[in-house]
């Protein structure tokens, strides 16, 4: 697990604006701040990808540079994953893309919600590097259900989970569930999860704040 806000950086400004009730009502800024955090976390995780040497011809000669050699697939969890997806795609602009839905369904006469996955569009993940994006990691059940739903698409060589805000409890749950080849990149972690499965103090419901 790598928590981005452990050190002071401009990322703090973006997460503060996401949390602030007086600023988060500006939907465009809210989405763009999630996108900007996706860009920052992409840069951080790019340092852990594998690289290969490529020679390019410049107008004045030849230059050798290292470029990522992994085949990347960015998968986001609808809805709130969309702006985070865009931020990651801004940097890994030639990646393949997957989209998957997950939502909390509250069955009648049953107080416990379940996570339903109803939509999936994805290329093969076999041997590739998967970046799975969802700005909120509350109980951790969306991430874990989505990973199960992706299993028929093949086994990724490496999985990077990217999130903006998480709870300690959700992260502990994921640690017990997740394959060894995975790493979580997250902007900030709150200690508390309330009885409804909401992160406290958190920032509210990212899907609603993005899209109404």
Chain residues in the site for ligand PRP (CB under 6 A): 77, 79-80, 102-104, 115, 134, 136-142, 170, 197, 205-208
Q: Is the Cα torsion angle 200, 10, 25, 165 positive or negative in sign?
A: negative
**Residue among 40 and 171 whose Cβ is closer to ligand PRP:** 171
**Residue among 156 and 207 whose Cβ is closer to ligand PRP:** 207
Task: Tell the smallest beta-carbon distance from residue 102 to ligand PRP (Å).
Answer: 6
3-class DSSP state of 92: coil
Task: Tell the smallest beta-carbon distance from residue 82 to ligand PRP (Å).
Answer: 9
Question: Residue with the closest Cβ to ligand PRP?
Answer: 207
145 closest CA partner among 105, 201, 180: 105
User: What are the Cα distances from residue 161, in Å, to 45, 62, 80, 93?
Assistant: 10, 37, 14, 18
**Residue among 91 and 113 whose Cβ is closer to ligand PRP:** 113
Tokens representing 211?
């899209």
Task: Tell the smallest beta-carbon distance from residue 77 to ligand PRP (Å).
Answer: 5
Length of the chain: 212
Task: Tell the smallest beta-carbon distance from residue 76 to ligand PRP (Å).
Answer: 10
């Amino acid at each position: 697990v790598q928590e981005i806000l452990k050190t002071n950086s401009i990322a703090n400004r973006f997460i503060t604006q996401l949390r602030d009730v007086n600023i988060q009502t500006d939907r465009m800024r809210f989405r763009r701040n999630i996108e900007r955090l996706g860009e920052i976390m992409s840069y951080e995780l790019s340092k852990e990808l594998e690289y290969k040497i490529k020679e390019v011809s410049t107008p004045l000669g030849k230059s050798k540079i290292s470029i990522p050699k992994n085949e990347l697939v960015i998968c986001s969890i609808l809805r709130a994953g969309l702006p985070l997806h865009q931020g990651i795609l801004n940097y890994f602009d030639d990646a393949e893309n997957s989209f998957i839905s997950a939502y909390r369904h509250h069955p009648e006469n049953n107080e416990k919600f379940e996570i339903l996955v109803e939509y999936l569009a994805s290329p093969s993940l076999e041997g590739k590097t998967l970046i799975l994006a969802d700005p909120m990691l509350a109980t951790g059940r969306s991430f874990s259900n989505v990973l199960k739903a992706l299993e028929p698409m093949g086994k990724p060589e490496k999985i990077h989970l990217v999130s903006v805000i998480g709870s300690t409890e959700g992260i502990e749950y994921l640690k017990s569930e997740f394959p060894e080849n995975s790493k979580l990149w997250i902007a900030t972690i709150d200690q508390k999860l309330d009885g409804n499965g909401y992160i406290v103090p958190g920032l509210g419901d990212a899907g609603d704040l993005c899209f109404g």
